[in-house]
C-alpha cells in the first residue's frame, strides 16, 4: 500500500506525529484531503522562523508563450488569473494550466517531468469565467497511477501519472466527452468544467459549469456523474434537476423540470472516503434572477446533497435557498469536520455561503448541529414571480458577513457621508437579506460574489477552529422585460448593476474583506480581522480619522492554507502582492512575504526530503508562475 493510502486511515493525532517524522508528506487532493480541510499538520515553518522564508523555486506556466502569441495576433484567447492549486503525490507535483495543459513537476526544484496538452483552449472562450481551471485528481489501483483532468471544453482525461500520456483503455483514446449522456443536446459554449475531478472509492466524480447568461429558458442541466477510473464507463448520475417520478420532481411546477437547466455544482465537491459519502454543493437554476418560468422550490438548486459514492443515490439534502433569485449558489467545498458539541462527538460537514452563513450538519444523517429556522422574507413585486414565503436561517454560528441594507450597514465615517449614503439608497429598493430583485432595482447585500466564495474555508482538527475569508460587496439587480430571442424568459437582469457610496467610497461600513475564526465546537465566533489595508489611505487622504485596516475587496482571491502552526492567506492589497502568515489564535499578522505577481491560486504545503514548502500560483495573462517557498 502506498504512503498516500496508508495515511488516509490513520487518526488525525497519529497522522500529525507520523508526518513530522517523515521524510516527505503529500498534498494528495485539491483541498489537502477529500474533506477539503485545507490543512496540513506540518510545523517546520513556525511563527519564530516564518520571516526567514525564501523563494525555493519558480516555474513559468507553459501557457505564457501561447498567450504572448495570441496577444501579438490580437486574439481574445487570453486567461485571467491562474487559479490552480497543485497536488503532490509520492514526490511528484501535478498542476493544470488555464489553457488545459497538465504538468508533472519535481517539487524540489520545479523542473518538469512531462507536460500534456489537451488543447482545450482552442475550442474557444469557456462559459462564465473564461479560461480557468483549478485542479486535478489522482487515482491509484491495480498497479496503475492516473491523473484525472476535466477540461473547459467538456472532456474528462485520464493521464498516466508517470508518462503524462493518455490512457488508451479509458473512454476513447484516453478521454470521455462530458456533453454526452445528459439527456439533452449540449452547446459546448455554455457548458464545461473548472473544478478538479473528485477521486474517491474507485470513482472519478465530475461536476460542471454552465453559463450564467442564458440565451433562453432551455439550458444544460448540472447533473453530477461518476466514472470508472479504468474504463471511463458511467457508474452513476445524480440528477440535480429531478426527472419525472424522482424525489423532488414536484418542486418544479408546470413541467419546468423538462427545460430548466443550470442547477449545477460548479465549485469543489468533497467526500468522506471511509463513510462512502459524496457532498455536492449546488447552484442556482436558469435564470439566476427571475423564476417565473420555474415555479416551486426547485430542488436540488442551492442545496447541499449527500449521495452514496457507490450508487449516486441521495442520502440526505438540505436546501439553503428555496426558489433562488439571488444567485446564492453554494460557492465553496463543504468541509468535513469532527467536532464535540455539548459533550457529543459529531462527524459533521460545514458549508459556507454567499449570504455569510455557515451551515453545520451531521454528515451521516444530515441533521443540523444547531437549529435552522424558516423565517418570513420579503416577497416579489415582479409579475409572474412566486417566491417562497420563508427561507432558512441558521441560529448558530452567527453570520460572518453583514446582511441586508439598513441604517446599521451604511457607511458612517462622518454624519455627512452617512446622509449621502441614505440619499443614494433611496433610488433603489432595499431591505433585509433575501429582499428580491425588482423592476426598480434592488440593492442586494451580500452580492452574488459573497460573502463566502469559491476559495472556501480551512479547519483545524486540533482546536475545532474554522477560518473563513470573505468579502463585502453590494450589487444592484434590476429586472427588465426580455426582448427578441430571450422573450420566453420574461424578465432578465438589465439596467443598474452596481451602486457606489458617497464621494467614491463604498456604500457600507468596513471591513470590506475579512477573516473570521469560528469555534465549531461551540458555534461561537473567536475573532474577526480586516483582511488587508484596503482603501485605508484613501480614507485618510479625505481628512477622515484613520479607521485602521478596512480590508481589501478581493472576492476572487486565493483561499486559506492552514498548518499546525500558522494560517496563511495571500492577497493583492492595493499595489502589494502578499502572502501573510497569521497567528491562528487571534488573527494578528506575524509576517508578510512580498510576492512577485498577484496571487491567484490557493496555496498548499508539502514536505520533501525533510523540508516543508508552501506553493502558490501567481499572475495570469502572459506571465503566470508557480512559486514555492521554504526556509533557507
Q: What is the pLDDT of residue 18?
A: 45
Please report, for the chain, how many H helices and E strands are present, in that order: 5, 40
- Neighbouring CB atoms inside 10 A of 384's CB total 12
Are the C-beta atoms of 598 and 577 separated by less than 8 Å?
yes
Dump pLDDT digits (tens) for 47-70.
Answer: 999 999 999 999 999 999 999 999
SS3 591: strand
What is the tally of structural domains in the chain?
1
Q: Which of 419, 410, 475 is CA-nearest to residue 442?
A: 475
Are the C-beta atoms of 284 and 211 separated by less than 8 Å?
no
Q: What is the pLDDT of residue 556?
A: 62
Which H or E element spans position 537?
helix 536-541
Radius of gyration of the chain (CA): 23
- CA–CA distance from 329 to each of 47, 320, 335, 365 (Å)? 36, 9, 16, 23
List the chain residues with pLDDT less than 50.
Answer: 1-21
Helices (H), 9-54: 12-20
Q: What is the pLDDT of residue 485?
A: 85
Start-to-end C-alpha separation, the chain = 33
Helices (H), 405-496: 415-425
SS3 315: strand
CATH of the domain at 365: 2.140.10.10
In DSSP notation, 538-581 reads: HHHHTT-----------TTS---EEESS-EEEEEEETTEEEEEE
Q: What is the pLDDT of residue 129?
A: 82
Q: What is the torsional sign of CA 601, 60, 598, 57?
A: positive
Residue with cell 499572475: 619
Residues across the chain: 632
Q: What is the pLDDT of residue 557?
A: 75
Q: What is the pLDDT of residue 407?
A: 86
**Which residues are CB-neighbours of 553 under 8 A, at least 6 positions away?**
471, 472, 473, 506, 512, 513, 534
pTM: predicted TM-score of the whole model, two decimal places: 0.96
Residue-number span of the structural domain to which 542 is assigned: 3-630
520: β partners: none
Q: What is the pLDDT of residue 16?
A: 43
Joined grid coordinates for residue 228: 470508472
Cα gap 276→400, rounded to integer Å: 31
Dump pLDDT digits (tens) for 421-435.
Answer: 999 999 999 999 999
What does the DSSP 8-state code read for residue 497? -
Cα gap 11→8, rounded to integer Å: 8
Q: Which of 624, 575, 611, 617 is CA-nearest to residue 52?
A: 611
Q: What is the torsional sign of CA 338, 341, 343, 348?
A: negative
Q: What is the pLDDT of residue 553?
A: 79
Cα gap 529→523, rounded to integer Å: 18
SS3 424: helix
Q: Is the peptide bond before 184 cis (omega within 30 degrees of 0)?
A: no
Cα gap 401→176, rounded to integer Å: 41
Amino acid at each position: 500500500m502506498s504512503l498516500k493510502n496508508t495515511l488516509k486511515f490513520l487518526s488525525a493525532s497519529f497522522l500529525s506525529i507520523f508526518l513530522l517524522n517523515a521524510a516527505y508528506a503529500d498534498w494528495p487532493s485539491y483541498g489537502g484531503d477529500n474533506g477539503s480541510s485545507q490543512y496540513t499538520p506540518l510545523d517546520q515553518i513556525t511563527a519564530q522562523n516564518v520571516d526567514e522564508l525564501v523563494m525555493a523555486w519558480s516555474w513559468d506556466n507553459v501557457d505564457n508563450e501561447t498567450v504572448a502569441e495570441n496577444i501579438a495576433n490580437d486574439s481574445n484567447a487570453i486567461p485571467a488569473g491562474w487559479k490552480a492549486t497543485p497536488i503532490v503525490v509520492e514526490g511528484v507535483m501535478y498542476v493544470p494550466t488555464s489553457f488545459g495543459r497538465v504538468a508533472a513537476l519535481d517539487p524540489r526544484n520545479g523542473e518538469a517531468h512531462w507536460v500534456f496538452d489537451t488543447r482545450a483552449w482552442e475550442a474557444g472562450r469557456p462559459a462564465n469565467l473564461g479560461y480557468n481551471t483549478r485542479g486535478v485528481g489522482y487515482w491509484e489501483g491495480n498497479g496503475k497511477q492516473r491523473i484525472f483532468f476535466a477540461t473547459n471544453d467538456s472532456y474528462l482525461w485520464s493521464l498516466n501519472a508517470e508518462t503524462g500520456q493518455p490512457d488508451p483503455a479509458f473512454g476513447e483514446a484516453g478521454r470521455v466527452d462530458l456533453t454526452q449522456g445528459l439527456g439533452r443536446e449540449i452547446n459546448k459554449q455554455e457548458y464545461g468544467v473548472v473544478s478538479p475531478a473528485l477521486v474517491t472509492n474507485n470513482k472519478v466524480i465530475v461536476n460542471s459549469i454552465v453559463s450564467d447568461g442564458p440565451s433562453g429558458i432551455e439550458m444544460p442541466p448540472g447533473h453530477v456523474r461518476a466514472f470508472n477510473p479504468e474504463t471511463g464507463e458511467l457508474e452513476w448520475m445524480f440528477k440535480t434537476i429531478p426527472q419525472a417520478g424522482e424525489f423532488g420532481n414536484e418542486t418544479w411546477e408546470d413541467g419546468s423540470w423538462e427545460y430548466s437547466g443550470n442547477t449545477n455544482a460548479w465549485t469543489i465537491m468533497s467526500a468522506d472516503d471511509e463513510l462512502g459519502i459524496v457532498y455536492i454543493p449546488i447552484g442556482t437554476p436558469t435564470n439566476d434572477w427571475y423564476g417565473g418560468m420555474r415555479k416551486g422550490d426547485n430542488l436540488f438548486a442551492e442545496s447541499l446533497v449527500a449521495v452514496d459514492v457507490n450508487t449516486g443515490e441521495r442520502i440526505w439534502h438540505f436546501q439553503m435557498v428555496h426558489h433562488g433569485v439571488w444567485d446564492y449558489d453554494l460557492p465553496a467545498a463543504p468541509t468535513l469536520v469532527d467536532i464535540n458539541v455539548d459533550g457529543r462527538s459529531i462527524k459533521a460537514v460545514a458549508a459556507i455561503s454567499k449570504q455569510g452563513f455557515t451551515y453545520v450538519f451531521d454528515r451521516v444523517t444530515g441533521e443540523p448541529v444547531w437549529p435552522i429556522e424558516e423565517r418570513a422574507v420579503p416577497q416579489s413585486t415582479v409579475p409572474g414571480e412566486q417566491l417562497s414565503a420563508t427561507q432558512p436561517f441558521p441560529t448558530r454560528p452567527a453570520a460572518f458577513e453583514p446582511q441586508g441594507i439598513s441604517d446599521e450597514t451604511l457607511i458612517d465615517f462622518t454624519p455627512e457621508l452617512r446622509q449621502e449614503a441614505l440619499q443614494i439608497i433611496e433610488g433603489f429598493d432595499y431591505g433585509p437579506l433575501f429582499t428580491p430583485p425588482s423592476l426598480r432595482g434592488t440593492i442586494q447585500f451580500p452580492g452574488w460574489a459573497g460573502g463566502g466564495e469559491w476559495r472556501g474555508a480551512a479547519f483545524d482538527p486540533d482546536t475545532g477552529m474554522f477560518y473563513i475569508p470573505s468579502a463585502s460587496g453590494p450589487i444592484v439587480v434590476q429586472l427588465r422585460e426580455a426582448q427578441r430571442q430571450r422573450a420566453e424568459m420574461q424578465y432578465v437582469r438589465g439596467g443598474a448593476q452596481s451602486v457606489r457610496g458617497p464621494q467614491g467610497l463604498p456604500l457600507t461600513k468596513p471591513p470590506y474583506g475579512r477573516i473570521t475564526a469560528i469555534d465549531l465546537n461551540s458555534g461561537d465566533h473567536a475573532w474577526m480581522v480586516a483582511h488587508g489595508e484596503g482603501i485605508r489611505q484613501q480614507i485618510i487622504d479625505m481628512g477622515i480619522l484613520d479607521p485602521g485596516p478596512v480590508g481589501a475587496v478581493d472576492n476572487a482571491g486565493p483561499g486559506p492554507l492552514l498548518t499546525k502552526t500558522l494560517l496563511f492567506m495571500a492577497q493583492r492589497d492595493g499595489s502589494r502582492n502578499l502572502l501573510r502568515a497569521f497567528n491562528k489564535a487571534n488573527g494578528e499578522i506575524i509576517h508578510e512575504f512580498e510576492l512577485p505577481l498577484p496571487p491567484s491560486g490557493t496555496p498548499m504545503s508539502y514536505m520533501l526530503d525533510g523540508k516543508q514548502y508552501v506553493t502558490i500560483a501567481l499572475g495570469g495573462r502572459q506571465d503566470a508562475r508557480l512559486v514555492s517557498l521554504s526556509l533557507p
